[in-house]
Structure 1
Amino acid sequence: MAKAGKYVLEERITEVRSRWQIGKADAAFFESSTRVNDLRRSLKAIKGTKNVELFRHFPVAAIALLEAYFRSVVSVVVDAGGDYFPRGLGMVGDKLKAAEAIAILHKKSVSIGEAVAYSLPFSSLGHLESTLDQLLGQSLKGLVKTAVDPHELRRQEPAPNLIVADVSALWADLQKIFEARHVLAHEAATKFDVSYDLASLSVESVSNLIEAIEAVLWSTVWKDEPLTQQELNRDAYSKYRDQRKQLSVVIRRKRKEFAGKRDAAEFRALHAQWKSWVERWARYNSERFEGGSIQPMIHASVLSEAYEIRIKQVQNVTGY
């Protein structure tokens, strides 16, 4: 923990990450879904309780969840580059000083996207909406109105179902939850009652918005990224194939440095053993998913990772 008065942005982000299950901004939807399910289970367990004080927890927890998701989304979108990067930097202005940005880039412990995300305010629905409007270059509310299941969109189904049936009603519900959260987080509010219905509305409204934003991202920022399992399998194999080609290039260059035939022969023998071991290791990892659609992706991903490491190993052989 940094000393009081010296609590820097980088340390804050690192601490937030440490409290996630996966610890990466691009796992935001998984983290959010997990938290939504936890809240639903807890709320179901106390339905009908006379201890209504427990219901006061849910608006606060739901908005905290939305804030975490919001910051992760901003981080991922800004780091996607293209027009999103300058838009993100433009939103923070003087809040992220040039010296801080340079230090972050140098250390590589957090990304610029994360620095932008954690420099932005989040205390109202307006903060979320205006930020994503600017970042996406389009109206978030307008995009949510047409948001559909990403898989249905990718399959080009003729009449995909809208994720949010009534966007105006959702916005009104969210505004109500933000107001309740503000009261509960900043006041004693002994006369402010939270019912089971309001607690449930808090969780479901936030969940609905997160699902809608996720769909919006798949139709904008991630529209060219693999989504279906078949696409993920092809993408994983393509990355493995590229790594394999790159390794071949590195090996051809390295051969020029061999001291003689004996040196070259030993390298070939060792490399053949490495290839055999890596293939067995990839099969071992993927066999646990035998018969599943995910198996080809696991196999190719393990190979790709191994080849990426091997490229560096060959490059770093003395004399390169």
Structure 2
Amino acid sequence: MTSKKSDLEAAIDAAARILDSATTIGTLGHIGPDGDAIGSSWGVALSAHKAGKTAVASFGEPFVIPRHFEFLNQEVVVPAKEFPEGLDVVVSCDSASAERLGSLAGAATSAKKIVVIDHHVTNTGFGDVAVVAADASSTAELAYRVLQRLGWPIDADVATCLWTGVVSDTGRFQYSNTSPETLRVAAELLEYGVASDVVGQELYERAPFGYFGVVSAVLGRAELDADLQLVSTALFQEDLDSADITYEETDGLIDLVRLADESDVALLMKSLEPGSVMASLRSRGTIDVAAIAREFGGGGHHNASGFSFDGVPEDALAAVKAELAKQRR
């Protein structure tokens, strides 16, 4: 992992050299992309396109663009099935490992070079060049620095993609990963013409009416373990079916689950297929939820992480409680 400032600057220089010499470039976010994965990968590809490169952006199956990201410029975005192999460079954005690229991991490794831009402490250091800084607020913040080094075009569309990544991963600049450098980057992005009010409305102030029913169901089955200071709940496919909404439209659920005063750790288990659970963990700071996720092959950050679990929600909950108890000792 890139750590020292001098090492990071050297990695940015190396990434810029590779990208500048490339003709064909593809950018990839992780499967089930969040705002940072989409914002950073689309922003880099869009800037590359404007610099005269042949550039595309995508993410692995299931390729479903969440509704709240549809406002972003998508002229370089292609479905996963149309992402080409054998590119000069693939840029992996916001993925801690090649496995997180899902169905497009093979397309990534078929490229002549892989550049990794990421801020996860759990990053495995894959790729030919890794621009990785765990103390960066977001991958988008690092992507902006790479684009600056390249001198590629950054207009309102590119800046809006990057702004989306920064805003998403800092919780609208309220999380502890918001640094003075983050705010400097944010100020510069605003100068390119980002409409921050529009981004805020699209990301945080819109939802289909059926979402209300899902919120009611998920919060209605929430449980509090007072001893472990853990609040947990589950989302089932039946919840989505009855509300006629998609999984991608439920991103904000974990932020509601974590509100309970009596807890400092929140767990949302998404059981959408029999025998499989996708879990999201959040911490107020005392507990390292990335360490818990790593025990199950997942990863993330100290205060936000996720993992996949083979089994049912009850078993996933028991496993998390066991790991949480170790940190409480």
- RCO higher in 1 or 2 (8 Å CA, sep ≥ 6)? 1
Which TM-score band applies after superposition, normalised by the shorter structure?
under 0.3
Give TM-score, length-normalised by structure 2: 0.22
- Return the index of the structure with the highest Cα Rg: 1
Give TM-score, length-normalised by structure 1: 0.23
Task: Identify, as 1 or 2, the structure richer in strand.
Answer: 2
Task: Identify, as 1 or 2, the structure richer in helix.
Answer: 1
